[in-house]
Amino acid sequence: MKIAVLMGGTSFEREFSLESGRNVTRLLESLGHTVLPLDTTPQLVQTLREQKPDAAYIALHGKTGEDGTICSLLEFLGIPFVGSSAGVCRMAWNKSVLPHAVLAYLNANTTTSSYTSMLARIGLINAINLPTDGFKEMGLATALDLVDSPANKRLSCGYPLVVKPARGGSAMGIARVDNKEQLAIALLDALSFDNEVLLEPWINGVELAVTVLGSGSNAYALAPVEIAPKQGFFNTDARLDSELVDYYCPPRPASLPATALDAIKLAAVSVHRAFGCRDLSRVDMIWGHKANAKQDTNMSDAKAYVLEINTSPGMTEHSLVPMACKAEDINLATLLERLLKEAIARA
């Protein structure tokens, strides 16, 4: 096959994307395919029309890669590609949509008893959305004292909380905020990455990444990857420096009760199906409790709190999807080849 591997772009995650693209290129070339490694420059469309690839693999991360832009372009050009449709990517790109999409899916696909049972294990985080225009044009900054107000039921527990951009990846612009003095700085930093910021309760627990393969009723989860930062949380610095974090796949028995793995995989597959994702995704979550919850230390009563879904997950040699594939004895090159063939057949 002749495969276009799309990478780079102009987002904050450009360097991650280039590394992913180079690795995907190497893997596909090892199977004998002709690979066109293409940066998303203004000449991209002309090159694609001239080269006429059989299919494309999207190794773009962040804006234009995960927001549906590149998918829309490929759909318009009639080039098959691995991954979710443009509409799905647009919806999944905004993290605030996730709990609403999952609730709608559970309502439509489960009975009352199973719905209640699933919600008992899947933690959905309803964030507070704070748009840039609210600060610039409507004086929203004067109401930030409400974050720690007993009357504010949306955050449930006040500080500590998470401030993060509504759209973006690689943990860029994400901060833990322990008091009101830290809040303004965290908001300014997050707003430098996106024009909408989310405030969410801090979740204490085990951080996990779950790869989901397939589509619809055929989707299934691979072994979760346990992410154990040596200090703090899994921020951008930890993602860039493997010395700052340890990974375990499957997770260590001491980190999770035996009953947790099924709930974690169920949560990941539910999110994948709720958005209508296809081929491949990565669902990030924390198995734990909201900070300050009474049962904070009892992990047997924890939930899988879903943070986000990635429709174009990292594919570097140190990324989480390749780790999960290795743990499951899945040859990554063969998997990519299969997904590309399925994309061509689907088209």
Q: What pLDDT is stored for residue 19 in this prediction?
A: 94
| CB neighbours of residue 224 within 10 Å | 30
Give yes or no for a contact between 263 and 122, defined as CB atoms under 8 angstroms apart.
yes
Report pLDDT for 91. 94
Residues of the domain holding 61: 2-83
How open is the CA angle 82-87-89, to the nearest 5 degrees? 60
How many folded domains does the chain comprise? 3
Closest-CA residue to 142 (of 177, 102, 184): 184
Distances (CA, A) of 77 to 8, 96, 208, 300: 20, 30, 37, 50
CATH number (domain holding residue 150): 3.30.1490.20
Same domain, 220 and 267: yes
Which helix (H) or strand (E) element contains residue 307? strand 303-310
**Helix 86-93 crosses helix 69-77 at what angle (to 10 degrees)?**
170
Amino acid identity, residue 191?
L
Spell out the residues 6+ positions from residue 230 whose beta carbon is closer than 8 angstroms to its own.
244, 245, 246
pTM, entire model:
0.91
Residue 224 three-state SS: coil
Q: Mark whether 222 and 109 lie in a shared domain.
A: yes
In a domain, 343, yes or no: no
Q: Is-contact 75 24, C-beta < 8 A?
A: no
- 308 lies in the same domain as 236: yes
For the chain, 347 residues long, give each residue's pLDDT as a single digit of tens: 999 999 998 888 888 899 999 999 999 999 999 999 999 999 999 999 999 999 999 999 988 888 999 999 999 999 999 999 999 999 999 999 999 999 999 888 888 777 777 777 888 888 888 988 888 888 888 888 878 766 666 555 578 899 999 988 767 889 999 988 899 899 999 998 888 999 998 999 999 999 999 999 999 999 999 999 887 777 666 666 677 889 999 999 989 988 899 999 999 999 999 999 999 999 999 999 887 655 455 666 789 999 999 999 999 988 999 999 999 999 999 999 999 999 999 98
Do residues 113 and 221 share a domain?
Answer: yes
pLDDT of res. 147:
81
Residue 70 burial (CB < 10 Å; 0-12/13-18/19+)? Answer: buried
225 in a domain, yes or no? yes
